[in-house]
Structure 1
């Protein structure tokens, strides 16, 4: 197999590459050495053709006989997606959801690290959680600029989300994961991913009811 110079990859391809890497990491834990495109397709829900195209886009090619070398493929995906050095992340809002995200984040991403957390609750400010210092929200711009943070996670109430997002962007953040149930009004070049858990559960509940109704009619 060989690698070529990488090209610009669309958002959906990036999502699939991240999923492939997770699946490949699980296979490596099972002491697997090689994998074929049809196997990854079955695990990921993509087609074998799509799997091969995704890897071709990042310049990686497997062998018709041996498939893909798992270690090399993980490395190839990581080299394309990950930053050269640790990319710093800020977390704003250390309520139940924020704490859960902070707990989950630890040790799961080699090239991403939450290095600063912020909250307006004076009982949380000044504390150190998982080795990360909690600052007052008033210091968002100061700390984010000083640490060179360009990614942030927002888990504050919707009434505070826009103000928090504005401060983050002014400090240099250009990518935000927003858990507040509100659409943020930001410059188009700021990459925002909205995650509304209630909407997600409501959607799942709707389709679950449809499934139950279909079974009752059959």
Structure 2
């Protein structure tokens, strides 16, 4: 299969969420311009992305919501359930466990880990918490291939090293630090502080017309 870009994979995941929303609303079909409007893409981009799936819609009715969602799932998901572990059960880790519970049947968070003895041995948001000393054993016993990191930045590289040494091939990294991993391991960084700072910066910027108007007024005052 021809290599598909990360951006395309991201958009396909978004289209599936759009299909889920339309299905809840009782919609059976959707045109590319509707999917584009709901996902922030263009109709041409939507059609090109869906062509990757080998799926085509009807010129008269558009894409079948159920069939398109199924096609995206068959493309993105493994045939079997992929087991996921989470490291770091602080406020963020707990929120992640709660949010992902039951979201995707092909992705299952089967264990979480923490150094806090008050958390280990308990079931937190439906997930059993283990001490870090059992990390490799639990990963190997459950054939987990994906990890979510929600640990303090000072521990991020050490945790990443232990995860990859235990056979983890994909890491969703919520720490504000870029981690080094072996070749063949995929890392997706989610830096919420950086994202919020970007939003804060751009929220302070005025539209171009207002900026020009202010400059024009400044000149008129001289």
TM-score range, shorter chain: over 0.9
Instruction: Please say if residues 7 and 57 of structure 1, whose CA atoms lie closer than 8 Å, have aligned partners that are also in contact.
Output: no
* Number of aligned residue pairs: 213
Write out aligned runs for 1:101-120 (5 A). Answer: 101-120=96-115
Which of the residues 126, 134, 137 maps onto 1:139? Answer: 134
**What does residue 40 of structure 2 align with?**
45
Asked if 1:28 corresponds to 2:13, the answer is: no
- 1:82 aligns with one of 63, 77, 102: 77
5+ long unaligned stretches in structure 2: 215-222
In structure 2, the residue matched to 1:155 is 150
With structure 2 as the length reference, what TM-score do the two structures score? 0.91
| Cα offsets for 1:129-175 (capped at 9, x unmatched) | 13321111121111111110000000011111111111111111010
* Corresponding residue for residue 9 of structure 1: 4
Q: What root-mean-square deviation, in Å, do the aligned CA atoms of Structure 1 and Structure 2 show?
A: 1.6
Partner residue in 2 for 1:93: 88
Task: State the partner residue of 2:182.
Answer: 187
Following TM superposition, by how much is the alpha carbon of 1:7 offset from its aligned partner in structure 2, in angstroms? 4.5
Residue 218 of structure 2 corresponds to: none
Aligned residue in 1 for 2:161: 166
Q: Which residue does 1:3 correspond to in 2?
A: none
Gaps of 5+ in 1: 1-5
* Alignment check: 8 A CA contact 1:9 1:58 kept: no
Q: Is the CA contact (8 Å cut-off) linking 2:30 and 2:63 kept in structure 1?
A: yes
Is residue 18–residue 38 contact of structure 2 (8 Å, CA) maintained in 1? Answer: yes
Which of 52, 66, 71 is the matching residue for 2:66? 71
Distance 1:58 1:212, change over 3 A: closer
What SS does structure 1 have at the residue aligned with 2:205? helix
Q: For residue 50 of structure 1, report the CA deviation from its aligned partner.
A: 0.9
**Rg comparison, structure with higher value:** 2
C-alpha distance in 1 between matches for 2:22 and 2:101: 21
For residues 123 and 210 of structure 2, what CA distance do their matches in structure 1 show? 51
**Alpha-carbon separation, structure 2, partners of 1:214 and 1:203:** 21
Structure 1: how far apart are the matches of 2:171 and 2:124? 21
37-46 or 94-103: bigger deviation: 37-46
Deviations, residues 4-23 of structure 1 (Å, cap 9, x unaligned):
xx653221111000000000
Tell me the distance in 2 between the aligned counterparts of 1:163 and 1:191.
17
